[in-house]
Structure 1
Amino acid sequence: MDPSTVFTYERHIDARTLRGSTLVVTLGAFTDAGAAQHLLDTHILELLDSRIIGRVDMDQVYDYTGHRPEITLDRDHFEDYEKPEILLHEVVAADGEPFFLLTGPEPSFQWERLASALRHVIEQLGVERTLLVQSFPAPVPHTRELPITRYGGASEDIMFPRPMPAVFRLRSTFTSVLTLRLHESGHPVVGLAAQVPQYLHETEYPVAALALLRAVREEGGPEIAPGELEVIARAVREGIDAQVAGNDQLQEMVRSLEENADRFQLADAAEAEVPSAEEIAAEVEQFLAGLDEGDQGPSEESHG
């Protein structure tokens, strides 16, 4: 089936006139922990000038019965149907430079076909860098800086590496497949996943959206002012602190998470220490010796 028929530009849009160096993707995955993607989409589209330039044919890629959209029955008639949509927006950043934003739920079907269609769109629009933005619940405290896990098609695509501590075998998401396919086609792609405190993942947590905004900029994306998000995040943090202060069990849980977070931070700092010239030379010699012996070294793997 022709991949180009799963995505179409709006009737008034001439794709030949569009150009932008960055595509930000906020498609859904397993969960939108802390509503980070929703908050990010809302913030960008309310703060900056934008327009819808294209959309995915949802009847081809979405499982309506598996993810039933809501609709209102007003006495004797239906209204307010929440139609699921995957939309491509052109957004103008504060510096006047356009970028693109792809929003919507995770597609249920035809992942490979849709990935091919999006690769074609990226090439049409002259996109030089794709940033995939997500969030997931993690055993981290709200009292520490929110971690952002970064991944990519290739390690060299990531400007600020923060890899996972081991190898994990996971159930895939569409954005995982998109990462692979874009990399195979020679397109730089970086994923940014905010680690939201697991005890807060079902509530709106604007701290996560703010952290993702900063990470987007760090990874070569547009600079987007935090605006009202900072005010909201401050109020949410104060409310959380007040709840924890009034509950001994919550205080103990947060202390335990803080201890774990501090241990990881110390471990990261130790790994980040610059080695001496002698240590570098010794590592090079060991590496070359391993090549001669056909030994690729030990690997660490865990399943989750």
Structure 2
Amino acid sequence: MDQQNQPEDAPEQTEARAARFARHLRESTDVADERPTVMVLAFEGWNDAGGAASSAVRSITTAGDGELVERIDDEDYYDYQFTRPRVRRTGSHREIVWPATKIYRARPQTCELDLLLVNGVEPSFRWQAFTADILTKAAEHDVAAIVLVGALLADVPHTRPIPAALSSEDPALQDALDVDEPTYEGPTGIVGVLAHTANQAGIPAVSLWAAVPHYVGQAPSPKAQLALMRQLEDLLGLTLDVEEVSEDAEAWERGVDELAQEDTDIAEYVQRLEEATDTPNLPEASGEAIAREFERYLRRRRPPDPGDS
């Protein structure tokens, strides 16, 4: 459409969230000509319903060819009767794998950021010392911001899109990313402690949480993993291959459908959750959601091969 023929009230094209995030970090850290470094963290355990958060961060680590740069395995952090070491066979050898937190560096070419990807097990002891250890590593690697990824059990139906929401305690990030301040009060895990402590230490932090249906909260939870990966794509400007996870999510949903059909009580409960979800959220396809999906589609399109007809 010619610009002169556009209606006067036509909405202006908004800058993608990932571009706003990268620009905000460059401006706030005075590194206009460099790629800011963002630390992305997930921990197995209480913060990781269905294993969705840790699986999402591991997927990014694999996709970005992450290189191991740090390892935190202080035995004072773990109760080995609660988080047990594992025996693993590699060829003709057996080894003990101890609980640890690993930090990988990745430099995805599809985004404007360098990433430090942290995946570990929620510690059993000395959380304040563990948090200080993580934030010290962040400072050593000149981290400009932290993204905490978690998943929680909630009253949501498996048949609807999994809610995955961003929040931040940092007012500047709230404005830059158009996200809300967290309102949760109650027991928290290491993800919540790290988010709050990072902000207090002057490192802006963003939290991303997915809601996993509590009646199917066991791992794996590929539909929740997929929701987190898509939000991380939008926040970080990544282009991820989600085809396999999408297929797993569809198979997971079909499997839960079959289980629900065999139990009348569960089927009725799911129907009530669907009604509660649909009533306040329709119409679901907002302009912003459609725009984000279209941007994701464009990023995944490969340029045509010159040899193709």
The answer as to 2:102 corresponding to 1:84 is no
The answer as to 2:270 corresponding to 1:251 is no
Distance in 1, Cα, partners of 2:143 & 2:238: 13
Distance in 2, Cα, partners of 1:240 & 1:163: 34
Distance in 1, Cα, partners of 2:42 & 2:200: 21
Length-normalised TM-score, structure 2:
0.69
- Give the conservation status (yes or no) of the 8 Å contact 1:29–1:174: no
CA drift at 1:196: 0.4
Partner amino acid, structure 2, of 1:131? V
The answer as to 2:69 corresponding to 1:53 is yes
Partner of 1:301: none
| 1:72-151 alignment runs, 5 A limit | 79-95=94-110, 98-151=114-167
CA drift at 1:79: 4.0
The answer as to 2:252 corresponding to 1:236 is yes
How many residues are treated as equivalent by the alignment? 246
Give 1:161's match in structure 2, choosing from 172, 179, 191: 179
Partner of 1:170: 186
CA drift at 1:71: 3.8
Partner of 1:133, secondary structure, is: strand
Give 1:196's match in structure 2, choosing from 205, 208, 212: 212
Partner of 1:206: 222
CA drift at 1:53: 0.2
Q: For the structure 1 residues 178 and 31, does the alpha-carbon distance in structure 2 shift closer, same or farther, using more than 3 Å as the test?
A: closer
1:225-275 deviation digits (Å, cap 9, x = unpaired)? 324211211222222223334443332111111122124436999xxxxxx
Give 1:187's match in structure 2, choosing from 182, 186, 203: 203
Report the RMSD for the aligned CA atoms in angstroms: 3.0
Partner of 2:56: 40
Partner of 1:3: none
In the alignment, structure 1 segments of 5+ residues that lack a partner are 1-18, 270-304
| 1:274-293 alignment runs, 5 A limit | none
CA drift at 1:213: 1.1
Partner of 2:103, secondary structure, is: strand
Partner amino acid, structure 2, of 1:83? W
Percentage identity across aligned positions?
26
Partner of 1:128, secondary structure, is: strand
Give 2:42's match in structure 1, choosing from 9, 18, 26: 26
Distance in 2, Cα, partners of 1:225 & 1:143: 23
1:168-225 deviation digits (Å, cap 9, x = unpaired)? 5322322222112211122110111110011111131111111111222333464433
CA drift at 1:28: 2.9
Q: For the structure 1 residues 209 and 155, does the alpha-carbon distance in structure 2 shift closer, same or farther, using more than 3 Å as the test?
A: farther
Partner amino acid, structure 2, of 1:144? R
Q: For the structure 1 residues 177 and 267, does the alpha-carbon distance in structure 2 shift closer, same or farther, using more than 3 Å as the test?
A: farther
Partner of 2:29: none
- Give the conservation status (yes or no) of the 8 Å contact 2:145–2:203: yes
The answer as to 2:83 corresponding to 1:67 is yes
Distance in 2, Cα, partners of 1:187 & 1:249: 47
Distance in 1, Cα, partners of 2:282 & 2:117: 36
Greater Rg over alpha carbons, structure: 1
